[in-house]
A and B are shown apart, each in its own frame.
Chain A
């Protein structure tokens, strides 16, 4: 219990210290110590939780004393935040954001002040899923903070046009982490909502960091979409407390299924869809790219978007087989396919990562929506793999941008020669995302099997076609990085020590996750499923498949190494590239029609005529919106039908 309180409060404390820190050296010291303390606490907490506490089942912690004070403080902060948003939305003439904020806050305030809220027994809930999430937030999130110190120095050296607002930036990062901890260990719906809104607002503030018009527009887009989700969340709380007399997430999930319980579940699922940037709400995540890279990494990998899928996984047992599950799985599968198609058509590295984030979240969402043990197994694994690899790749792209001045994939041609270490990090990340036998692929396999079992042909369609498009955009990128252009030179690497520490930490985690996958599955995730679904024993992977995967894993590490040794030993005659006899002799130029040397350059394919944003974006948003409206309509229609 002490650990939990510490984990939630300590980041806020660090944030408070950071607001007062003007000097970069002091800031560095504060961020490093703060991050180290968070990581250590989270590890100790999870170890004690796993060894001692929660093997026999999940633990509720009743926070009897102080509850009233905490509730009042939370309400006060919420109203303050509302005032802030209303002020900002009037200032920037984006009134709709202010309206949404007022609507959500007023609902909750009414509920609390009117005394309709039933007394809550358990405010805090801690099981293996909370532990997994805490570990991800603590380790990945804190490493991003460490990375950010070095990155922001470089960033402001490159972008002198932006005002240096680091005294605001770093506190926000830690506020974010604190809110995420609070979110994953709360059981009380009002508490979850409180932290949920804090993440929405701090992401809004972080996206608008540079205060350019584009940044402000994008930050408001992120805000209104997330506030809309928040409004859904508030609606769910009001409905479940007043009608069902249910105040905690766990009670709601295990409440006997009926058309009445389906209403809050659907509303919560809707909120989660906005948070996880599923279609039609994907645009905010793409817009978030204008922020400095640590923000993108934090929003895209470990925190913000993971809050949505975390909630969906929690809701999975209640959604399985219902109209809410259908909505979530269809939207998720559809987003997986559409976002992976769009990722083919863009060459901005961060944008590809953004689309791939949306796409992968779609897969996790689809898994949660189907809600069988296999899919939730896959979804939980995907959360872990995705958090680590995506955060690593964002940071690598940021470091590449600082070193070369571009984050365009076309400019990463021959990165393996120019910046070999950053290139290796990218390769590990990409391999972890889609190569056999890494986690993504195993999860995809489990998901495919479960979708077939669920007889959902649409989802099978989404996943088979989406796998093909996913493979294309990663292979394209990988081939750019690995192209060895003649006479390319090693570049000076401007990446700082802190950044390296974070990148190396991520790479190590990535490899560890892959190697330890069987252990993770048996020791952590299968017991978690048993707990979530309240059954005795779950076994997802057959032992013989596990054996093949271990063999594959060894192969993928051993083959390149062995081949490397063979290559070292062999001698071959260096050869000129074949250019139809007009190679200038340096492998870079050819003779053009004026008999002049001309530089040869090679580019990737982008297939905009097929998958371009212009072609498929609007129609996809329309389809997704229609699905959501239809499903929510059915849920509410059922209700009135039942009443009549």
Chain B
């Protein structure tokens, strides 16, 4: 148990950036192909980060540096707790704290584009937060079924080792709701309000406008960490104590990621009102109703 926990954490901390970077490269390749371009090499994100590291860091004030580091450390810590198999509710709470530091990093500059980006980021947090917490609740309610013991658990390790069937079977609504807000978390169109991957928008580079050089590289890498963690949550919907759940989880992750890219390429950015309303409505309809039905059945 102890060994597994430490192994999970170490593996995540060491390999997540590579997996995340590769995913980002793959993302850009697939996006390019969807748009009829050849696209950059798969390793391009790594080249970009290397280039960024070699550049000067231009900051407005040093508080930015402080909060950016806090963000990075808390993101890595979130993922480490998750892959260490700890309590998923706690994992999500730490994730919120990390997101808050990201907002503070931008608002402390008092720079118009960063602050506008940060304000939008706060609205994004408001939009996805209920669904994120409900996902944790969903796992707790679902494991009462899938483990066959009648008692639920928040522990990531127990969710995997004690479930006899994938939890997605009883949590289709929650899965859909989570996939929906995943678009916000992955910063994909139509919900890439606070910061887009491209700097040619009305918000310039949004929340990251005032970050540069090595600091920007660090933020980029921490987003890779975050993406790997989020895909981990997607995998958790499928993983159970059967061997076949592992390839199945990888498949589900791949499909989810592909769909996110597809949505990104086929939709235009919406206004914040639309994002906010839709996320809450989806959360209510799919997340809450799903959990309600499960509770009624148990």
Contacts and interface: CB of A to CB of B under 8 A. Distances in A.
Q: Do A and B come from one complex?
A: yes
Interface of A: 413-414, 416, 435-437, 441, 445, 448-449, 452, 455, 457, 460-461, 463-465, 467-469, 471-472, 475-476, 478-480, 482-486, 544-545, 548-549, 552, 555-556, 559-560, 563-564, 566-567, 570, 572-575, 577-580, 587, 600, 602, 604-605, 610
5 contacts: A445-B93, A552-B90, A555-B77, A566-B65, A575-B59
A478 B100 CA distance: 10
Contacts of B130: 464-465, 467-468
B185 to A, nearest CB: 14
A199 B177 CA distance: 48
B11 interface: no
Contacts of B122: 472, 475-476, 479, 605
Given A478-B104, A483-B110, A484-B63, 20 more contacts: A436-B94, A436-B96, A437-B93, A449-B89, A452-B152, A457-B288, A464-B129, A472-B122, A472-B126, A475-B125, A479-B104, A483-B108, A484-B60, A484-B109, A544-B86, A548-B90, A570-B57, A570-B65, A572-B58, A587-B110
Contacts of B133: 448, 463-464, 467-468
Contacts of A460: 134, 137, 288, 291
B140 A555 contact: no
Contact of A471 (B59, B96, B109, B204): B96
A436 B58 CA distance: 31
Contacts of B220: none
Interface in B233-283: 276, 280
B49 interface: no
Contacts of B119: 604-605
A400 to B, nearest CB: 19
A573 B86 contact: no
Contacts of B86: 544, 548
Interface string B111-123: 1110100110011
A460 to B, nearest CB: 6
A464 B93 CA distance: 12
A622 B204 CA distance: 45
Nearest to A552: B94
B100 A548 contact: no
A483 B107 contact: yes
B33 to A, nearest CB: 33
A479 B118 contact: yes
The 8 closest A-B pairs by CB, nearest first: A468-B129, A479-B107, A577-B111, A575-B58, A464-B133, A563-B69, A436-B93, A464-B130
Contacts, number: 171
Contacts of A552: 90, 94
Contact of A573 (B58, B90, B276): B58
A553 to B, nearest CB: 12
Interface of B: 56-63, 65-66, 69-70, 73-74, 77, 81, 86-87, 89-90, 93-94, 96-97, 100, 103-104, 107-113, 115, 118-119, 122-123, 125-126, 129-130, 133-134, 137, 140-141, 152, 154, 204, 209-210, 212, 276, 280, 284, 288, 291-292, 295, 298
Given A476-B122, A484-B110, A559-B69, A573 B56 contact: yes
A53 B204 CA distance: 66
Contacts of A578: 111, 113, 204, 209-210
B125 to A, nearest CB: 6
A570 B57 CA distance: 10
B104 to A, nearest CB: 6
A577 B126 contact: no
A469 B126 CA distance: 6
A303 B250 CA distance: 55
B240 to A, nearest CB: 21
Contact of A445 (B74, B89, B284): B89
A580 B119 CA distance: 19
A572 B204 contact: no
A158 to B, nearest CB: 29
A452 B62 contact: no
A468 B125 contact: yes
B109 A602 contact: no
A243 B129 CA distance: 49
Contacts of A476: 122
B100 A435 contact: yes
